[in-house]
Amino acid sequence: MRQITLKDIAKALDLSPSTVSRAMRNHPAISVTTRKKVQKYAAEHKYKPNPLAMQLRTNRNNTIGVIVPEIVHYFFSTALAGIQDEAEKSNYNLLFCHSNEDYEREVRSVTTLLDARVCGILASQSKTTREFNHFQEIIDNNVHLVFFDRICTGINTDKVVVDDYAGAYKAVEHLIETGCKKIAYLGATSLLPIANNRRMGYEDALRKHKLPMDPKLNIVCDTVELAREIIPEMLAQSPPPDAIFCINDEVAAYCTQFATSMGFNIPDDLSVCGFTNSYLTEVTYPKLTSVDQHGYKMGQTAARLLINRIEGKETKRGVVSRLIKTELVVKGSTR
Amino acid sequence: MRQITLKDIAKALDLSPSTVSRAMRNHPAISVTTRKKVQKYAAEHKYKPNPLAMQLRTNRNNTIGVIVPEIVHYFFSTALAGIQDEAEKSNYNLLFCHSNEDYEREVRSVTTLLDARVCGILASQSKTTREFNHFQEIIDNNVHLVFFDRICTGINTDKVVVDDYAGAYKAVEHLIETGCKKIAYLGATSLLPIANNRRMGYEDALRKHKLPMDPKLNIVCDTVELAREIIPEMLAQSPPPDAIFCINDEVAAYCTQFATSMGFNIPDDLSVCGFTNSYLTEVTYPKLTSVDQHGYKMGQTAARLLINRIEGKETKRGVVSRLIKTELVVKGSTR
DNA sequence: GTGAAAGCGCTAACAT
DNA sequence: ATGTTAGCGCTTTCAC
């Protein structure tokens, strides 16, 4: 049993397809009686306009594409929830792609989305991406592009970022103000601006408070796997650091776990601070102080910006950059 | 600058659109010279077939819809990754919907996906769903439906589930075999079969090993919010339980954290076991014993089953049920 | 081996 | 207020 079409309704009601089309969309030129009659019949027969046909006509399909580098991740899944909510509000569907931190797959995702003729794309760059032609192609195809969080510096387009610098700065300042003197930073490769910004926030806070900088305390360590090697070495220094600021909650949580098992008392011997404020922070012992990135809000903001661009409601000509404020959430793992 | 179409190529090469169409798809009736010429021109001018037009013709859009109840969740985001990978292999796009554990929104998601004319739907039911008409409508519209994990018992369709019962049974048996005698269960509302099955696994393991069942030890507590109230009461019993089996890792992780803060030694005084084996298990202190649900594999399996149905490759007539094996992963939180 | 024509379901410009 | 016509970009008879 095939879906009923406009034509079927027209035939049944002895009207023309265009009248039916207009009646369905409450076109003012249609008489109330006809409109009522048509809509009643349509409802009774569960008529659904075929979006494909409409899209072919209008060359618009009310779909936006999302590319996330890693979905099994508190921040990105939270952002996706925000994107989805905002898209739903404006009746956009979400085509979901997952690059899995893989450049090749990111390129393929772009192709997929362009082939599907999405109206716009929200993207967060993978860690391994060093070429940007695929992103440039989006723009060359006149498809709107908004980067969120992991922006691509090589491409000049709208973006929504978190104030990583200020978040890191505030966190490290908090550590200093609560009496920590030897503060380590476990960061990420500086390929990503977010990583650079956080490192700079850390370094500037030390500088401001006249604490020495020690390369041995400033290390790339952004996964639990790396943490298993690096944190033991770090804590084996003598004296060991009295605070560790980590680029994400996973590393920070592992850090509290390992340090505790080594007999460190957190936060008295060692303060630990994470970044993201995921639910991990609620289940470590003690609870983890962390910098909240407001992923949901970032997703919403990015989606709203993209939709406004698509619908011509964002009037600003050049690049729009929105900044989401971070917030230091102090819990039990810092003094 | 508009995308180039078949017609444009036809005009440029002085051919008919149908010839171009055939040449592009390597139709045997087309001479090699023509084919070469057409494909060369197409490549040079970056011709992309308009999927909308093709879809309108064939009434198929190579898109499958996914409805997850909660995306900020290790299991579901892992499953989504599996779904996406499998869909990509067969060139299906993924339309993503998020019910957020809300019945109304689940209904709207179904409407959205049916309106978008997806070829099939993968769904995991929300906790608040008690009516199934929206799911029945999917089937009535001849759209394939596969439930995964949170299946809907009211609907007779393909499903992929985890062997919750066996997982729970094995976990509790492990607690018993390592000497625990007073084992509590923190479960979920029995609206969901997965919750029922886990509870039955727990109860049967106790029965099998002739341990008494105590309603005070068998409580609904599936969120950290509930855990904050319930776990303190539970541990205040005298004597307190010597093991807690939790329906998810969040509750289990909170449990280790709270118990530790109360001076319990885990696992000597209290064994704690979770369910899912998310990355939470790696960052608690001690690391959490948990039942691995293999979310990625479940996602893959569900997507494959759906795609096979869509493409007529799954020949079995009636309902297909696939079972994903769980696996008890013993870490530090149990003796 | 290639082309002409019809049509997928819808909308919009142009009648009337 | 309603109908007629054309066309979105493609595929697929049916001719030749």
pLDDT digits (tens, 9 = 90+) for A35-66: 999 999 999 998 988 888 888 888 778 899 99
Q: How many Å apart are CA A187 and CA A198, to the nearest integer?
A: 8
Q: Are A291 and A281 in contact (CB under 8 A)?
A: no
Residue A98, C-beta contacts closer than 8 angstroms, at least 6 positions apart: A67, A68, A70, A71, A105, A109, B80, B81, B84, B85
pLDDT at position B190: 75
Contacting residues of A for B74, CB less than 8 Å apart? 72
A253-300 residue pLDDT tens: 999 989 988 999 999 999 999 999 998 998 888 899 999 999 999 999
Could you check: is the Cβ of residue A332 within 7 Å of any atom of nucleic acid strand C?
Answer: no
A15-32 residue pLDDT tens: 999 999 999 989 888 999
pLDDT tier, A190 (very low <50, low <70, confident <90, very high otherwise): confident
pLDDT at B1 over 60: no
Residue A63 phi/psi, 5° resolution? Answer: -125, 135
pLDDT at position B59: 78
**Between vectors from CA A118 to CA A143 and to CA B51, what angle results, nearest 5°?**
120
pLDDT at position A181: 96
Q: How many Å apart are CA A328 and CA A197, to the nearest integer?
A: 16
State the distance between the two ends of chain B, measured CA to CA, in whole angstroms. Answer: 68
Residues 21-80 of A with CB under 7 A from strand D: 22, 28-31, 33-34, 53, 56-57, 59
pLDDT at B2 over 70: no
pLDDT at B128 over 60: yes
In this prediction, residues A179-202 reach a mean pLDDT of 92
> What is the percent of chain A where pLDDT is above 90?
79
In this prediction, residues A96-107 reach a mean pLDDT of 96
pLDDT tier, A1 (very low <50, low <70, confident <90, very high otherwise): low
Report CA(A57)–C1'(C8) in Å, whole number. 12
Q: Are B223 and B232 in contact (CB under 8 A)?
A: no
Q: Are B5 and B24 in contact (CB under 8 A)?
A: no
Contacting residues of B for A78, CB less than 8 Å apart? 72
Do A52 and B50 count as a contact with CB atoms less than 8 A apart? no
Structural domains of chain B sorted by starting position, each given as residue range(s) with its CATH number in brackets: 6-49 (no CATH), 61-162+295-324 (3.40.50.2300), 164-293 (3.40.50.2300)
In this prediction, residues B88-93 reach a mean pLDDT of 92
Do B280 and A280 count as a contact with CB atoms less than 8 A apart? yes
Report CA(A206)–C1'(D8) in Å, whole number. 62
Given CB atoms, is A95 within the 8 Å cutoff of chain B?
A: yes
Q: What is the DSSP letter of A286?
A: S
B172-184 residue pLDDT tens: 999 999 999 999 9
pLDDT at B46 over 90: no
Do A250 and B279 count as a contact with CB atoms less than 8 A apart? yes
